[in-house]
Amino acid sequence: MRHAFYLEILIVIFFLTKEKYRSILKSFFNDPRNFLSEKSKNFYLKVLSVFYFFLYLKVSFLNYFSFNVHAVDFSIYDWIMPSLFHTGSFYSPACDCNHLGYHQTFILFLTAPLHFLINHPIFSVILHPVVAWLGYFPLKRILKEFKLSNIYQVLVVFIYFNYFGISHIVKNNLHIEVYYLPLILWLLFFIKTERFIGVIGSSLLLFIVKEDAPLYISSTLFASYVFIKRDFRYLLLSIASILFFYVNIKFIIPPFKGTEDYEFVNAVSKYGKDIAGTIKGIISSPIEVLKDVVTGGWVKYVMYFFFLPLTSGFFIIATFPIIFIHSIASSPLMRNMVLYYSAPLLPFLFYFLIDFLSKNRIVFLKFKLSLSARVKGYFLIGILLTSTLIGSGYLTFHSPRFNYSQFVANVEKIPNDKLICAMDSIFPHIGYEKRLLRMSDKCRVGKVDIFIIHGETWLNDLSQDQFDRIIDDVEKSGIYKKNVYKDGFIFYEKE
C-alpha cells in the first residue's frame, strides 16, 4: 500500500465492474481475432492510457515524498511559475537568477495561472508526468491517420508508454523539455494531415518551449517540404523559425543575463562558450566532431529500432539539429541523451515506426502466409518487442523514508524573514513564502539564519567535500544551535 499499488488494482476492478468491458474480455479469450476489432482496440487503448496515467503520477508522487526531487531542475521551473504570477519575472532562488537569462521558456506563462490555484510544488509534481502522458493523444491520431491495423495501434501505444526513453523523462521530475513530447507529435500530425493552421499553432507553442525549439521546427518543416509535400509555406515557416531563433539569442536572452552576447550554459558545447566560438571550434576539429556525432547518445535510440530510421531521409533531416546539438555537448548527460534530453528525438522515432509499419504490413491471424511475409511479420514484431524491453529507463518506485508532514510542520515554524540554506533534495519541500538558497558556497556562515540538511538525501551537483566544508564551518562558528529530529533532519538555527 505504501507504494500505492492499489491504484493499479482499482483500475482493473473498475473495468471489471462494467459489464461491457467484461464482455470484451470474455470474447477475446473465446476468439483472439476479436482483438483486432474496433471495439476491442478502443477498450485496450483506454485501459493502457488510464493505467499509465496513474502509474506516471505514482512515480512522480513517490519521487517527491521520498525526497528524490531536487532544486535543479525541478525547483528552478517550479519557482518561476509563482514568480511570474506575482512579479512577472523569471526569478528562481533555486538558481538565484533570472532564468530567462539562460533559457527562453515563455510557455511557463501558460501554466502560471494554474499553478496559482494550487500554490504548492505538488502542481509541478503532477504537471510533469501529465505532459508526458499527453503525447498519447497526437500519437493515437497519427496511428489512425496512417490506417494501421488495430493490433499495431495497441502495440505502438504500449511501446510509447513503456519505452525506456519515456521512462527516463517521467522519473526525472519537472523539466521544460517534457513539452517536446506532445507538441512535436502534434506538429507531425498536422504535417501528415496537411492542416497548415495546425502546423502554425503547434509551431508557435514549440517556439516558446525553449530557445533551441525553432531549430527543430525549421529542420522538420524543411524535411516535410522535401519529402512529404512541396508546400512553399513550409519553406517560409522554416526560414521564419531560424529568424525567431536569432531573435531569441540576440535580443531576448542576453539582456536578462546582463551580457552583450548570448552565451551557452555550461552543458551545451565542448567546442565554445557561444555560437561563434563553437562554429570556430567545430571547423578546427572536424574529425573529433564527426567522432562525437557517430558515438552520440542518439545511437542507442536508433539502435533499438535496428537503425531503420536512418533509411528515412525525412528522419535524418528533421532530427539533424537534435542529434548534432546533443552530440557536441560538454555534459555527459546531455551527450548521452539521458534524463529529459531525449524528449525532442522520441516523437520522430515513433513517427518513423508508424510510417514503417504502414508500408510493411502483415495481416495477423492469417496462417497461410508466404515465407517472406512471415519473416517480415516476425521482423516487425521484433522491432516492437526489443524497443520496449531493452533499455535502462525502468520506472523506479521510491519508498517514502521520512515523516514528510512532520518535516513540513518544522519548516512552517520558521519565520518568513529568516534566510534558509537547504540541500538540493530538501529545497523543493520548503514553501514559496520562505527566503531560500540552495546549499552552495553562497551560503555564508553568519548571513544564513538556518541550515537544513539530511545525511541520507541527494547532494546533486554539490560535492561531498563542499558539503562537509560548509557544515564544518557552521559547527565551528559557534553561533548555530543544532536540532536533530527523529527521522534524521538537522536544523542549524542561528542563536
pLDDT at 366: 46
CB 253 within 8 A of CB 104: yes
- Alpha carbon distance 327, 274 (integer Å): 16
Joined grid coordinates for residue 59: 512515480
Joined grid coordinates for residue 266: 555550461
- Alpha carbon distance 96, 347 (integer Å): 33
Nearest Cα to 419, choosing from 403, 430, 410? 430
pLDDT at 381: 63
Joined grid coordinates for residue 130: 501529465
- Alpha carbon distance 467, 494 (integer Å): 19
Q: Which are the contacts of 367, defined by CB distance < 8 A and separation ≥ 6?
A: none
How many angstroms separate the Cα of 128 from the Cα of each of 234, 296, 350?
Answer: 31, 26, 20
pLDDT at 265: 77
pLDDT at 220: 98
- The identity of residue 311, as a single letter, is T
CB 360 within 8 A of CB 376: yes
What is the full per-residue pLDDT of the chain (495 aa) written as tens digits?
333 444 555 666 776 677 776 776 666 555 545 556 888 889 989 999 999 999 999 999 999 999 989 888 899 999 999 999 888 899 999 999 999 999 999 999 999 999 999 999 999 999 999 999 999 999 999 999 999 888 889 889 988 998 889 988 998 889 999 999 999 999 999 999 999 999 999 999 999 999 999 999 999 999 999 999 999 999 999 999 999 999 998 899 998 887 777 877 776 788 988 888 899 999 999 999 999 999 999 999 998 888 889 999 999 999 999 999 999 999 999 999 988 999 999 999 999 999 988 887 654 444 444 556 556 656 666 666 666 665 566 777 888 878 888 999 999 999 999 999 999 999 999 989 999 999 988 899 999 999 999 988 766 677 889 899 999 999 999 999 999 998 889 999 998
Task: Give phi and psi for 246, each to the nearest 5.
Answer: -65, -45
Which pairing describes strands 97-98 and 489-494: parallel, antiparallel, or unpaired?
Answer: unpaired
Phi-psi region for residue 14, left (φ > 0), alpha (ψ -120 to 50) or beta? alpha
- Alpha carbon distance 317, 441 (integer Å): 44
pLDDT at 4: 42
How many angstroms separate the Cα of 117 from the Cα of each of 61, 145, 198, 409?
Answer: 19, 37, 30, 22
Q: Which residues pair with 483 in a beta bridge?
A: 491
For every residue of the chain, which 3-state class applies, written as one string?
A: CCCCCHHHHHHHHHHHHCHHHHHHHHHHHHCHHHHHCHHHHHHHHHHHHHHHHHHHHHHHHHHHHCCCCCHHHHHHHHHHHHHHHHHCCCEECCCCEEHHHCCCCCCHHHHHHHHHHHCCCHHHHHHHHHHHHCCHHHHHHHHHHCCCCHHHHHHHHHHHHHCHHHHHHHCCCCCHHHHHHHHHHHHHHHHHCCCHHHHHHHHHHHHCCCCCHHHHHHHHHHHHHHHCCCCHHHHHHHHHHHHHHHHHHHHHHHHHHCCCCCCCCCCCCCCCCCHHHHHHHHHHCHHHHHHHHHCCCHHHHHHCCCCHHHHCHHHHHHHHHHHHHHHCCCCHHHHCCCCCCCCCCHHHHHHHHHHHHHHCCCCCCCCCCCHHHHHHHHHHHHHHHHHHHCCCCCCCCCCCCCCHHHHHHHHHCCCCCCEEEECCCCHHHCCCCCEEEECCCCCCECCECEEEEECCCCCCCCCHHHHHHHHHHHHHHCCEEEEECCCCEEEEEEC
pLDDT at 10: 64
